[in-house]
């Protein structure tokens, strides 16, 4: 996705990991440290050790935002991160299918139980837009909401959890090709439909971050 498939991070004299950089973004993944054809079979404690290594032993340097891409679920990794890392906010990503939104709903409940701020929901693969005629075709998880309208799984999840839908991303061949080529769409086609969606999502997240910081500072001043 970032054009870093064939690169390996370097280790400094203090055995700290130097993250790879692409398009000005520092990137680190356990996938960079193992052979691409190797199957990684780790138990819970090994996974947690790897997560701690990525957080504590990588020379991140000054960052505006550290984004952690987590798998769905309510397992040890998610729970430990929420309990041990000062997470400013979470963006929930789901696809419209009922099975996907059911798993996502359990994750949302865990985050709420742990008092982790949730910015909102992003629905991926909402629809397919025909490149020839521009027709919008919902593919997954949509239910009839009248003779001419449907409600997606992301909308139902938002209603059930009281969270806003921040963005809906279509299946876009240009985005897929851009990711496969290791060239972010925001650099190759920033003015495309999906590029504009990314811009709008970024604005939402920055606004949520600022609100969270303001709330935190207000609480500290009050106490």
| pLDDT tens-digit map of 125-162 | 998 888 888 888 887 766 655 555 568 889 999 999 99
Does residue 167 contact residue 204 with C-beta atoms inside 8 Å? yes
Q: How far apart are CA 4 and CA 182, in angstroms?
A: 7
Let me know the angle formed at the C-alpha of 135 by 132 and 136, rounded to the nearest 5 degrees. 130
Q: Where are the beta strands (DSSP E) in 2-100?
A: 10-11, 17-18, 20-22, 25-27, 90-94
On average, the pLDDT of the chain sits at 86
All structural domains of the chain: 1-63 (no CATH), 64-222 (3.40.50.300)
What is the predicted pLDDT for the residue at 27? 95
CA 218 to centroid of chain Cα atoms: 28
> ∠25-28-30 over CA atoms, to 5°?
160
Largest separation between any pair of C-alpha atoms in the chain: 66
Q: What's the pLDDT tens digit per position in 17-53?
A: 999 999 999 999 888 887 777 776 666 677 778 888 8
Summarised one tens digit per residue, pLDDT across range 154-207 is: 999 999 999 999 999 999 888 889 999 999 999 999 999 899 999 999 999 999
Cα 185 to Cα 126: distance, rounded to the nearest angstrom:
18
| Dihedral-angle region of residue 182 (phi above 0 means left; psi in -120 to 50 means alpha; beta otherwise) | left
For the segment 66-113, what is each residue's pLDDT rounded down to a tens digit?
999 987 777 778 888 888 888 999 999 999 988 889 989 999 999 999
| CA–CA separation, 54 and 137 (whole Å) | 40
Q: Which residues pair with 25 in a beta bridge?
A: 22
Residue 93 near residue 124, CB atoms below 8 Å: yes
pLDDT at 63 over 70: yes
């Amino acid at each position: 996705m970032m054009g870093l498939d064939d690169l390996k991070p370097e280790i400094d004299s203090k055995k700290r990991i130097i993250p790879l950089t692409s398009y000005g973004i520092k990137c680190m993944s356990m996938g960079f440290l193992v052979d691409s054809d190797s199957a990684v079979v780790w138990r819970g404690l090994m996974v947690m050790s790897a997560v701690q290594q990525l957080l504590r032993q990588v020379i991140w340097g000054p960052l505006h935002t550290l984004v952690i891409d987590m798998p769905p679920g309510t397992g040890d990794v998610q729970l430990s991160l929420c309990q041990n890392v000062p997470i400013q906010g979470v963006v929930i990503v789901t696809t419209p299918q009922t099975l996907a939104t059911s798993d996502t709903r359990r994750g949302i409940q865990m985050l709420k139980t742990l008092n982790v701020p949730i910015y909102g929901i992003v629905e991926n693969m909402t629809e397919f837009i025909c490149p020839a005629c521009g027709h919008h075709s919902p593919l997954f998880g949509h239910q009839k909401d009248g003779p001419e309208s449907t409600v997606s799984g992301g909308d139902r999840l938002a209603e059930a959890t009281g969270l806003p839908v921040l963005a809906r991303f279509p299946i876009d061949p240009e985005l897929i090709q851009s990711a496969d080529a290791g060239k972010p769409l925001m650099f190759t086609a920033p003015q495309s439909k999906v590029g504009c969606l990314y811009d709008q999502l970024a604005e939402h997240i920055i606004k949520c971050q600022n609100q969270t910081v303001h709330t935190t500072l207000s609480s500290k001043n009050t106490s």
